[in-house]
Amino acid sequence: MAEPVIPPLLAAALAARNYVELTPVQRAVLDADAGDRDLLVSAQTGSGKTVAYGLGLGATLLDEDGGLGAAADPLAIIVAPTRELALQVQRELAWLYAEAGARIVACVGGMDPRREKRMLEEGAHIVVGTPGRLRDHIERNVLNPFDARAVVLDEADEMLDLGFREDLEFILNATPETRRTLLFSATLPAGIATLAKRYQHDALRIAVTGGREGHADIEYRAIRCFPNEVEHAVVNVLRLIDAPGAIIFANTRNSVRHLQATLVERGFSAVFLSGELGQHERNLALQSLRDGRARICVATDVAARGIDLPNLGLVIHAELPHDAEVMQHRSGRTGRAGRKGVSVLIVPTSRRRRAESLLAEARIVAEWSAPPTAEDIRALDRERVLADPLLTEAPSDDDRVLAETLMQRKSPEDIAFALARVLRSRLPEPEEVSDPGIRPVGKERGPRADRDMQIAGDMAWFRLDVGRQNRADPKWILPMLCRRGGITRQDIGQIRIQDTVTEVQIAANKAVDFLVNARKGNADDVFIAAADERPEPRGPHKSHKPRGDGPARPPRDDDYRRGPKGPPRGKAERGGFKHKRKPGKGPPR
């Protein structure tokens, strides 16, 4: 393929930003076949669409001298679904067209319309905005679109999903029929096809969505965890990967607020974005992320549309998305424009199959693993502190004076201990987590007894199908475990008695033999299984005494003699109390 021809001023801007290689979608819009034609482009988030249509508009907007002339009525109108995306597009085009002297004005909801009116009256080459605000300015004769040479619909599928069809049609009808229409969309549903057929002429179809083309720089990981340890897993992933910027997705506003508060409490610099925030609050949160005062953003899907954060190397799905497309849209916040990124799905045991379905639908192969352990993170910390600026920066004169004073009054060990405490105080403490031991379907390995065990540290968890309702008691559970599993009391760790089940820890080096022996005896009164087998708990009426190891069980319902069709008869027939029916209660006899 021949090298694409880029206008000189735009090529200079790319070089200044260290653009070494164009992405596939950027090359496609500059291909000779594209020319001045309408374009219908499907490309995933993070594939460089903004720069792509910025380059594609160059031949349409720039004059013979490579400039844009005096600013007047806009030459191009770009429509985006959200305020954040529109403002991001403005920033991207500002540097791309800086050498050409472009004046780019953003018109978005939530901002002062009077200020936007003044800027439009002063003239603009390119106007970027949200559908509602652009239509409002056109209806008020503030924005004159009648000389526009091009209209771009960015993320058109999302705009249709958000109900902007009428606004989009109004804007397109207000622009001249001779314009170029560039339609960019991650997917091409029926609504997009209808819009393209009506408003485009001889459009060139460009598809850059095959396989993982748009996400080739994203590494996917799936972290299995227990449902009550999701937040702990998020904390440990943040500590393990330690990216300069991260975004965490949750599905509801309440989840976002709670998770952000949890992270701040643990020492992370985090902000949150959700639909309840006003524009001023959103701007403050985004600015704190851009200037480095905050490194983590917790957001809902709607609030994160169009956000392009600097140095974003990590995306965490604290709650699984509703479909594969949303998962890819979330993940596309990282791995952009040739940069590498990591997308981590936190998968509770109850949502494992849902996660596998999402990954399969998106044709993504993820690396499954247990949650990062606190010990793994502390081992990394011991290496990381050696690269801390406190230890690598050249000392100043004041530093030398203070160091000499410390050496005179404190021993080297005391100084080292103090420095270690200072360095550790900068790092949030990792959480203790367990590994549920679940592996994705088709990835199981080893003998079944080894696969089924949930091992945490030196211990493995098992379940018994008895609990408080069955009068479970360590006094008879301990000897029963030893007898059934061929182990000693020293091999048994915690015993957690719940209402209907009991969880016990067995030494990991004895766990496989214990499970094999326990399965042989599962015809006995107590059913023992690995934690992930989750045997059905017994009902409260099935209390029992296993082989004389425990107290007598309470009476069962069927111990009482029943009549042919009625409830248990009163104990008077057995010499006990006589059942008395309260007046007015029960059917007549």
Identify whether 167 is part of a domain.
yes
> 66 and 82 share a domain?
yes
> 342 and 400 share a domain?
no
Arithmetic mean of pLDDT, 407-420? 81
Arithmetic mean of pLDDT, 221-229? 91
Read off the pLDDT band of 414 (50, 70, 90): confident
Read off the pLDDT band of 93 (50, 70, 90): very high
Which of 425, 458, 493 is the last residue before a domain boundary?
425
Render 83-109 in DSSP notation, one character per residue: HHHHHHHHHHHHHHTTTTT--EEEE-T
Position 45 scores a pLDDT of 65
Lowest-confidence segment of 237-241, 367-371, 388-392 by average pLDDT: 388-392
Closest CA to 185 of 166, 200, 175, 170: 200
Read off the pLDDT band of 444 (50, 70, 90): very low
> 115 and 174 share a domain?
yes
Position 294 scores a pLDDT of 92
> 36 and 115 share a domain?
yes
Residue 162 has pLDDT above 50, yes or no: yes
Read off the pLDDT band of 180 (50, 70, 90): very high
Arithmetic mean of pLDDT, 532-536? 53
Residue 544 has pLDDT above 70, yes or no: no
Position 413 scores a pLDDT of 82
Position 554 scores a pLDDT of 43
Arithmetic mean of pLDDT, 502-510? 86
Position 262 scores a pLDDT of 92
Q: Cα(450)–Cα(67) distance, rounded to whole angstroms? A: 69
Place of tokens 């009068």: 471
282-292 confidence digits (pLDDT tens)? 888 888 888 88
Beta carbons within 8 Å of 53's beta carbon, 6+ residues apart? 29, 39, 41, 78, 152, 154, 182, 184
> 35 and 134 share a domain?
yes
Closest CA to 362 of 213, 234, 574: 213
Arithmetic mean of pLDDT, 564-586? 44
Place of tokens 């900068």: 426
Query: Is the separation of the CB atoms in 99 and 13 below 8 Å?
Result: yes
> 172 and 243 share a domain?
no
> 52 and 132 share a domain?
yes
Query: Is the separation of the CB atoms in 554 and 544 below 8 Å?
Result: no
Which of 175, 193, 208 is the last residue before a domain boundary?
208
Q: Cα(544)–Cα(466) distance, rounded to whole angstroms? A: 9
Query: Most confidently modeled of 50-54, 398-402, 517-521, 573-577?
Result: 50-54
> 276 and 180 share a domain?
no
Query: Most confidently modeled of 144-153, 332-341, 537-546?
Result: 144-153
Per the structure, the count of domains in the chain is: 4
Domain that holds residue 221: 215-373
Closest CA to 299 of 344, 246, 232: 246
Read off the pLDDT band of 384 (50, 70, 90): confident
Lowest-confidence segment of 212-216, 285-289, 415-419 by average pLDDT: 212-216
Torsion sign (Cα): 291, 296, 302, 308: positive
177, two tokens: 């029929």
Read off the pLDDT band of 533 (50, 70, 90): low
Residue 448 has pLDDT above 50, yes or no: no
How many other CB atoms are found less than 10 A from the CB of residue 512? 17
Identify whether 265 is part of a domain.
yes
Return the half-sphere exposure (C-beta side, CA atoms, 13 A cut-off) of residue 540: 4
531, two tokens: 């934690």
Identify whether 558 is part of a domain.
no
Q: How would you class 100 by CB atoms within 10 Å of its CB: exposed for 0-12, middle for 13-18, buried for 19 or more?
A: buried
Residue 63 has pLDDT above 80, yes or no: yes
> 98 and 119 share a domain?
yes
User: Who wins on pLDDT, 181 or 519?
Assistant: 181
Query: Is the separation of the CB atoms in 40 and 200 below 8 Å?
Result: yes
Arithmetic mean of pLDDT, 140-147? 93
Residue 536 has pLDDT above 50, yes or no: no
Position 571 scores a pLDDT of 41
Read off the pLDDT band of 223 (50, 70, 90): very high
Q: What average pLDDT does the structure give for the chain?
A: 81
Closest CA to 290 of 249, 353, 247: 247
Position 191 scores a pLDDT of 86
Identify whether 559 is part of a domain.
no
Which of 338, 357, 373 is the last residue before a domain boundary?
373
**CA–centroid distance for 257 within its chain:** 15
β-strand 492-497 against 502-507: which pairing, if any?
A: antiparallel
Torsion of CA 312, 315, 318, 324, to 10 degrees: 140
Type of residue numbered 505: Q
> 369 and 390 share a domain?
no
User: Who wins on pLDDT, 159 or 424?
Assistant: 159
Identify whether 440 is part of a domain.
no
Position 553 scores a pLDDT of 46
Q: Coil, helix or strand for 479?
A: helix
227-240 confidence digits (pLDDT tens)? 889 999 999 999 99
Place of tokens 């009525």: 73
How many other CB atoms are found less than 10 A from the CB of residue 444? 12
31-52 confidence digits (pLDDT tens)? 878 888 999 998 766 678 899 9
Query: Is the separation of the CB atoms in 434 and 348 below 8 Å?
Result: no
Position 54 scores a pLDDT of 94
Arithmetic mean of pLDDT, 179-189? 87
Position 259 scores a pLDDT of 94
588, two tokens: 């007549």
Position 338 scores a pLDDT of 63
Position 155 scores a pLDDT of 87
Q: Cα(39)–Cα(31) distance, rounded to whole angstroms? A: 12
Q: What distances in angstroms separate CA 358 from CA 44, 218, 219, 323, 480, one per listed residue?
A: 17, 16, 16, 6, 43
232, two tokens: 């702990």
Identify whether 287 is part of a domain.
yes
518, two tokens: 């326990």
Identify whether 305 is part of a domain.
yes
Residue 200 has pLDDT above 80, yes or no: yes
> 79 and 182 share a domain?
yes
Query: Most confidently modeled of 140-154, 414-428, 457-471, 515-529?
Result: 140-154
Rg (CA), the chain: 33
Residue 580 has pLDDT above 70, yes or no: no
> 64 and 35 share a domain?
yes
CATH number of the structural domain spanning residue 526: 3.30.70.330
Arithmetic mean of pLDDT, 415-442? 73
Type of residue numbered 411: S
CATH number of the structural domain spanning residue 171: 3.40.50.300
Query: Is the separation of the CB atoms in 167 and 93 below 8 Å?
Result: no
Arithmetic mean of pLDDT, 199-222? 76
Query: Is the separation of the CB atoms in 312 and 341 below 8 Å?
Result: yes
Read off the pLDDT band of 138 (50, 70, 90): very high
Identify whether 275 is part of a domain.
yes
Query: Is the separation of the CB atoms in 78 and 54 below 8 Å?
Result: no
**CA–centroid distance for 221 within its chain:** 11
Q: Cα(178)–Cα(297) distance, rounded to whole angstroms? A: 43
Closest CA to 331 of 39, 564, 44: 44
β-strand 459-464 against 454-456: which pairing, if any?
A: antiparallel
Residue 410 has pLDDT above 70, yes or no: yes
298-352 confidence digits (pLDDT tens)? 999 876 666 777 688 999 999 999 888 788 888 888 876 567 899 999 999 888 8
546, two tokens: 């296993």
Q: What distances in angstroms separate CA 16 from CA 13, 19, 53, 95, 121, one per listed residue?
A: 5, 8, 19, 9, 31
Position 216 scores a pLDDT of 63
Residue 558 has pLDDT above 60, yes or no: no
Q: What distances in angstroms separate CA 141 from CA 134, 144, 302, 307, one per listed residue?
A: 11, 6, 31, 30
